[in-house]
Amino acid sequence: MRNAPTILHLDMDAFYASAEQASKPSLRGKAVVVGGLGPRGVVATASYEARAFGVHSAMPMAQARRLAPHAAYLVPRFGLYRAVSEQVMGLLRELSPLVEPLSLDEAFVDLAASGAASDAESARRAGVRLREDIRAVTGLTGSVGLAASKMLAKIASERAKPDGLVLIEPGTERALLGPLPVRTLPGVGPATGDHLRRAGMTTVEELAEAGEDELVRLVGKAHGQALYAMALARDERPVVAERETKSVSVEDTYDVDIHDRLRIGLEVRRLADRCVRRLREARLSGRTIVLKVRRYDFSTLTRSETLRGPTDDPAVVREAAERLLESVDTTGGVRLLGVGVSGLADYTQEDLFAQAARPSRAVPTAQEPVPEPAAEASVPEQPHWRAGQDVTHAEFGHGWVQGSGVGRVTVRFETPQSPPGRVRTFLVTDPDLRPADPLPLVPTAAAGSPAGDRLPSRTDGSGASAGR
């Protein structure tokens, strides 16, 4: 393990909910819950104000509504989250060539790889400056952990939340880990935690005292050896630069099971088109088409078909997904559908029409724009407005949907840079009201200058731990 805390772990604070609060001035400082709003929805992220009521990620949305009935409940806007994540990851890559993203809002950084830090003080300065740059560029906050290993850096960032920085000095790791619950260690989930508790081990120090042989006896050789090493604060895992994408996929969970076979087919076509759009955005193509179906009884089936070469042709992917659907029994209804493409490459084989398309159908070339989802033909005439959705009105400008029902939609008109806006109600069919793209959280000019001016001299700043 290293002798300096040069591994940094960044975890953005309540990322989705914080992005929604930054985007909607009327929600700042208030309880916000982001996730699926239907009967089967689950919480993706809750703001710290909502967490005070006991709401947390992965909780059923119905339970969250009982705990925090006055919170704002919003659908996720992944386009916005991805855009902000790209800004954050860009700042991390300016800091070091070794960045290991774990999700949209979390990553490890090896500060030593670029010379950004070589000891505790320079690592702290780099962490402080990174947090400042993230706030300047995105308007959001992130918590930073610094340590000599990945495991300890992640533990440090958890202790730093929200909006803080914690550095674990080399030599203090055992003292810090000892009193912590065994669930703190990576790989110790509820089942393993309960098993260790029944054996009389509830803290990390008790794991260390039990010894490697006892842990191997309890949980097996590989897991036992790893647990013992972690209990002694040993973690030699390197920061691994961003891995290549192995697959691209999309899926939807439906509030009510779909029984109509025609509707299921339309949904599969729509998902295939969405998947191809993601492929093209990433400038990739793929050979293997995968269909995922979760049925009414929660059983999940996957079917796949491998083509002769990679493609990003929407018709090829649609027709392959439709063929795969033909082999799936959807009697009883389906609750989830997904389409994915794997076996990725950065080129496209031009003659794939012969391998996947039916002879009677004309297939557009790979250079054609991806058409809009075919399922739109089955959408009711009245538009469906979802809470949190961006909209624009010909007279009132940009806003977001607060709610809809009984043929009406309520919109609050405000932007990230405006004061809290006014609320107005319209007929859901109002021709002046249209869906819109999310607005940047920070104006482009402001986002470009602070970080751009500071990044080259990032390690020359100074500062102390921001605490929790």
Residue 297 has pLDDT above 60, yes or no: yes
Q: Is 47 helix (H, G, I), strand (E, B) or coil?
A: coil
pLDDT the model gives residue 356: 40
pLDDT the model gives residue 111: 95
| Integer Cα distance of 167 and 153 in angstroms | 8
Least confident of 104-113, 159-168, 279-288: 279-288
pLDDT the model gives residue 456: 33
Is 381 a known active-site residue? Answer: no
Closest CA to 317 of 247, 378, 384, 382: 247
Residues of the chain with pLDDT > 90: what percent?
Answer: 66
Highest mean pLDDT: which range of 15-19, 99-103, 113-117, 171-175: 15-19
| Integer Cα distance of 90 and 242 in angstroms | 12
Per-residue pLDDT tens over the stretch 200-220: 999 999 999 999 999 999 888
| Integer Cα distance of 17 and 403 in angstroms | 18
At position 239, the amino acid (one-letter code) is V
pLDDT-derived band at 391, boundaries 50, 70, 90: very high
Per-residue pLDDT tens over the stretch 59-108: 999 999 999 999 999 999 999 999 999 999 999 999 999 999 988 999 99
Backbone angles phi, psi at 19, to 5 degrees: -65, -40
Question: Which of the pair, 357 or 256, is modelled with greater confidence?
Answer: 256
Per-residue pLDDT tens over the stretch 186-200: 888 888 889 899 999
The answer to whether 249 touches 289, Cβ cutoff 8 Å, is no
Residue 284 has pLDDT above 90, yes or no: no
Q: Could you tell me how far CA 259 lies from the centroid of its own chain?
A: 30
Which residues make beta-bridge pairs with 7?
110, 147
pLDDT the model gives residue 193: 87
Q: How far is CA 378 from CA 260, 264, 382, 383, in A?
A: 12, 11, 11, 12
Active-site pick, 20, 49, 100, 106: 106
The model's pTM: 0.74
pLDDT the model gives residue 244: 66
Find the mean pLDDT for residues 17-31. Answer: 97
Residue 387 has pLDDT above 70, yes or no: yes
- Average pLDDT in the chain: 86
| Integer Cα distance of 458 and 455 in angstroms | 5
Per-residue pLDDT tens over the stretch 222-249: 888 989 999 999 999 999 986 666 789 9
Residue 445 has pLDDT above 60, yes or no: no
pLDDT the model gives residue 37: 87
